Every structure is written in structure tokens, then in C-alpha cells.
Chain A
Amino acid sequence: MTDKHEQATSRDKIFDAILRAAPTVVADLNTIQAEAAAILTESPNARPELLAEDAAEALMRRVEKGLVIGTSCESIPSLDQLPETVKGFLEQYALPAELKVQDKPSLQSLEWVDIDTDVDIHNDNTVGLCFAEYGVAETGSFVVHSNETMPVLLNFLPLYLIAVVPKSKILHYMDDYAAIANEIAAQGTTPRNMCLISGASGTTDIEGVLVQGAHGPEVLHLVIVEDQ
């Protein structure tokens, strides 16, 4: 499809031009890595203060202060309480007793009783429920990784989204998540997508007015599970 010769030429042209330019330098790997690492040592003085020492506490305070767009949060002692919490959420927004629960055994095996857990999220105005890999206190984020049980779209198509965040997986800073991403990469198990989600979908594109639910969720609810 692409002319092999041109492909080689453009690549070579770009590398040649970079190497010829005065501001660029060639050095051994150790030197480069040492310089790169030195820059990261400045991070502790170059990031915002958290609202509490404990990461989960800091994340919750951030949400409670209204700093995370369109987001509310609550904390439950164990995953068993989740169906009850979801029921409360649906009632709060006067929604029917139906949603899409992520196809994850630990979620599917809960006692959902009379709640339908398999609606089609391709329709609009649905509710989704996902299990986050991590939380980040600095930004009020939850993190999802695409895999066999986690469709990326589950986090984007529903109008309401409930994200379950295991308390033990709440990190202080984005830097901490970057370190974890490094570990995952070292194991060779990097997923296709790693999404840091920090609030409901929003836009200010019409006259600068903030509207939630531009394409993705209008309402986001974080449920922090203490024993997870």
C-alpha cells in the first residue's frame, strides 16, 4: 500500500535532519536515562497538595468539594453492599431497575435480585457499572484497562456511570500510576487502552457554558469498596 522506498526515505530524511540539527545530541543510553530520571526527582515539589494524607480520603474529599465534574462518591464496607447501593443510585435519579454490569465474575455473582444487569448500552440513557483497576487521589480519577471483561465503551456509552473503586488500589498521584504502568509493561501485559477518567463527560464549546454528558456520561458515581 505505501511505497516502500518512499517510506524508507521519509524516515531517513527525518532522522538525518534531527541528527544534523545543532540542538540534538547523541549520547550513550546510561547518560540519557540518568538525565531523564533526574527530571523526575523534581516531581514532589512540582505537584499539587492532596486534600488528605490517606489517598482514599483525599480522593473522596476532592469529589465532595465539587472539584470533579459531575461526580459524586460514597464508600461501602464490602462488595456485597453494591447491589443495594446501585438500587439507591437508580432511585435517586428515578431510573428503572436496569443497567449494564461489567462481565466480571466478582460483580456478576452479587445478589442483584430484581435489577436487570444486562441492558444494551448502545441505546442512550442507560446506566453502566464498571470495576476500576485503580483510583488516583490527585485528580479524582478512576482508571480502567481494556481486557476480556472490560469493554472501553462501557465507560463512554451510558448516560450514567457507576465506577467501583477498590480502596486499596487508590493511589496518591498520577506519578504512582505511571510507575504501575511501567511494571505492567515490564510484564509484557500492557492493555490496548488505559483510561484515566476524572469526571463526567463535559463540553464548554457553545458560548463557554459547561454542559455535562457531551458524548459520554452525564453523571458519574464512584463507589469505594473498603475491603477490596
Chain B
Amino acid sequence: MHANKPENFEQNVSEALSQPNLKAVIRRTTDKAEAKRAEAIANFPGFENARIQGQKVKDHTIKYMAHYLAEFEKNAKAQGAIIHWASNAEEASRKVLEICRKHEAKRITRSKSMLGEEIGLSHALDNADIDRVETDLAEHIIQLAGDPPSHIVWPAMHRSREDVIKLFRENHKDPTYSEEIIELVRSARRDLRTKFLTADIGISGSNFLLADSGSTCTVTNEGNAELTTTPPKVHIVTAGIEKLVPSMAHAVPLLRLLTRSATGGEITQYITFHNGPKRQGDVDGPEEYHIVLVDNGRTKMLSEGMEEMLRCIRCGACMNHCVVYKHIGGHAYGSVYPGPMGSVLTPHLNSLKVANKQTHACTLNGRCEEVCPVKIPLPKLLRSLRAKSWEKKYEPLTNRFFVKGFAFIAKHPALFQLFSSCGVIFMRMFSKKGWIRSMPMTSGWTRNRDLIEPGTQTFMQQYKKMKKAQK
């Protein structure tokens, strides 16, 4: 499967909507996530307080970001971590590759990290001829299929069991011939086990960076992060600088929010804090431990009034509850991050020029903000990006013409009423039995639905007449 480009959004959408099974495939996952989240929240009366607390933790850390980042660096170094800094995706990938080259790594294992995807690490490793083993089951599936991820929590949600059966039979050393999901999982377990134990380097992301201890933190349900980061001699962490929190105690409220919002579970099975390389006498663990701290647009967001987006803990609730995402799926967005959060992030990671259409593909219905565990005002941010692309004239000319024309008329109320009256006369020329099936300049509407017939005159015309008659 080819990776869609963000600038081809309209075409991506058409392709997505023409896939007959896509909606059912998406719903299988999002409906369950939605129902389970609702249940988890019903069982947690303090959830709203937790959201408020979670937001405060993130906002506080953002406010003092330079302080906490310096603290993190100092404390991680004290734990024996080697710290690297990367301004952009290319630099981040390059730094990871340099470490791989230094250790002459032939095989690396990776536990799922959206940041890794964001900085293009998969491609960089593949191009360097390093045997890259994705260990999260979903990432394993899409690696075999050659797909980009379609969701930030379930990257392989677009693949059916039948697809997985085929992929595993073709690729696993000792594949299953059963079609049971449990046997498929076993097949992956067998296949990945030897790879875990023979990798030269393990690469993980980090859900939190604890400033006061310099710890990184992995959160998984499968346990693949620990299997990725323990056996190899080298552990590399790649993390965005917005992952900072002051301390473990501050990560706790966010952990309470994260799983409930993501899958509707109460907590993930595995939460592991990593503090430097193995200690003297330790039975296992890496000898070298690197942390690559990545900016890639985050400080830009900070300086452009988008700091609320830096609260994001990557739970995916906004996409699970988005009516648009649920119909077009993740691939149509053409970005590592789809859905509402992706439409805000992508313009900063890529550019607004190529990713402004996504900001318009939203009804501003507010559901994403309502379910966001850290109360990110996603509709407000999406709208502010529309304002930016309007200023920069990224909108198609015809749109600008119509909106400007509309605004001109609407700022002159008398003209507006006149236009409304004429509009009614015009529309009534096309109506039949109370409905308009098609009419010039309204194909956007009438392509898919009928238009109700307007009254014989506008409200204002009728109202004035009525008032006159009363006199």
C-alpha cells in the first residue's frame, strides 16, 4: 500500500469513501473503544477532576518547559543516559542511525512509538539496511503489509483477520494454519521471540519524561517495550520534548486518563520507568542508554499560540469519536497523525501549506474536545489554523471569492436582505413539489441531498407586511 500524501487530501478521501468495507473495519475498533471508554468513565466519578488535574500538569510543565527540560537532562545524565538533541525529524533519525552504526547493529527491535514514525525512523533504518523488527503486534502486521499506520493506538485497524492470516503465512518461519485469532497471536509470539533476544539495539519511545528523576516511561499492553529494551546491549529512546512532566507523581493522573481514554481499560498492563543503563550487578538490561530529545515543530507550536496542543498524550480518543475519521479512516489524512489531533499537529510537523485541507474537513461539532482527557480545544485550534491559511492565502481562489463576497454582503444588512429576497425567488424557480433536486451553483449540496423549498418570501418581507397590516 502506498503512503498517501497530505496535499492530496481530497483524492485520498474519495479513495477512502469508495472502499466498501472501510467503514465496517473502522467501526469494529472505534465503536468498541467508544463504548468501553464510556463505561470506564461511568465507573470513575472523579474522571472530570482527573481531566482538570491532567490539564494542569501539562500546562504547568509547558509554562516552565525550559526549566523542566534542563532538569530532565541533568538527572538523566546523572543516571548514566547519553542525551542527544534534534531540532527536526531528519536530525533525529540521523542521530539514531549514528548510534546504530557505531555499534554495527544488524538487527534492531522497536516498540511502537508515534514519534519514531513522525521522524521517519522506519525508512531511515530500512535505507541503512538494518533489519528492523517492529514488535508491537499491530506494527508487526503493518510492517509485513508495508502499510503506514491508520490510527495512533491501533495502527493496523484497517487490516482484517484474513489479511493477517495471509501475511503471517507468507512471512512467519513457523506459521499457524489455524484461522483463530489466538493462534495468529501465538504465531507472532513465536516469530518475534528469537528476534527480541538477538537484536543488537532496542528502540523505544517514551510516554513521559520525568524531570526530577530523568526517567523515561513506556506504556504497553503487550509487554513488548520491556522485551525490546532489555536484551540488547543498547537502548535508544526517542521522545518529543512535550512528553515532560515534573515527576512520577505528576505522571500518575495522566496515566489514569490515558488508558481510559484510549482503549477504555483502566490501566495498561505494563508501565515501566527506565533509568539509565543496567546497574552494576544487574542480571539483564542494556549497557548503553541513549535518549534523543526531539523538537520537530514543538517549539514552533509554542511560539505560534498552539501550546494547548502540546498537552496531547496521544490517546486517540479524538479520532475514535470523530464523525469524519470514522468515515474516511486514518490513511486519508496522509499523515502519521490522523483525525482531529493530527489535523492540528501535521501543519506544524509538515507545513500548513500542504496540510491545510484537513483543518477544513471538520464540522467543528466539538465531540473531540469533549472526550479529550487533557481538554485540548481542538475545534478552536483547527479554526485558528484556518484563519492562518486564510491570511497566507492557501485557500483555493473560488472559496476565497465566495467567502469574501458573502462577507461583503453580510456586512451591509440592507444588501443582505435584498440578496436574501432575490435568492428566494431564484431558488423557487428550481423547486418542484416542495423540494429542489438540483440548481446552479449548489452542487455541493444537491449532489447528495435535496434542498427544501423556501417560502414565497423571506421572513423579513413577510414580517414587514404583517406589521404594516397591523397598523
Contact = CB atoms under 8 A, between A and B. Distances in A.
- Contact between chain A and chain B defined by CB under 8 Å: yes
Interface of A: 1-2, 6-7, 10-11, 13-15, 17-27, 29, 32, 35-36, 39-40, 42-43, 45-49, 67, 69, 103, 122, 124, 139-141, 146-153, 155-157, 173-175, 177-179, 181-182, 185, 190-209, 211, 213-217
B393 interface: no
Nearest to A102: B283
B250 A203 contact: no
Interface residues of B, number: 106
Given A40-B249, A198-B267, A216-B270, 5 more contacts: A25-B64, A46-B52, A146-B283, A193-B274, A203-B222
Contacts of A199: 269
Interface of B: 28-29, 32, 43-46, 49-50, 52-53, 56-57, 60, 62-67, 69-70, 79, 84-87, 91, 95, 98-99, 102, 135-138, 141, 154, 156-157, 160-161, 164, 181-182, 184-186, 188-190, 192-193, 196-197, 212-213, 215, 221-224, 226-227, 230-231, 241, 246-253, 255-256, 263, 265-279, 281-285, 293, 295, 299-300, 302-303, 305, 307
Contacts of A182: 212, 247-249
Contacts of A17: 295, 299-300, 302-303
A152 B285 contact: yes
A7 B86 CA distance: 8
A139 to B, nearest CB: 4
A33 B164 CA distance: 50
A146 B282 contact: yes
B66 A40 contact: no
Contacts, number: 285
B100 to A, nearest CB: 11
A1 B278 CA distance: 22
Contacts of A139: 266-267
A181 B213 CA distance: 9
Given A20-B303, A21-B307, A46-B53, A151 B275 contact: no
B46 A47 contact: yes
Contacts of B91: 6, 10
B273 A181 contact: yes
Contacts of B293: 14
A179 B250 CA distance: 11
A191 B273 CA distance: 9
Given A23-B62, A207-B28, A215-B227, A201 B299 contact: no
Given A17-B303, A36-B247, A201-B222, A153 B69 contact: no
A185 B249 CA distance: 13
B49 A146 contact: no
A39 B270 contact: no
Contact of A150 (B87, B189, B226, B283): B283
Given A2-B84, A152-B226, A178-B247, A43 B53 contact: yes
A162 B63 CA distance: 44
B64 A27 contact: yes
A6 B86 CA distance: 9
A174 B250 CA distance: 11
A139 B259 CA distance: 12
B189 A215 contact: yes
A18 B45 CA distance: 37
A158 to B, nearest CB: 11
B56 A39 contact: yes
Contact of B28 (A35, A208, A211): A208
Contacts of A200: 269
Nearest to B280: A148
Contact of B60 (A2, A20, A35, A193): A35
A47 B226 CA distance: 27
Contact of B224 (A15, A46, A215): A215
Contacts of A2: 84, 95, 98
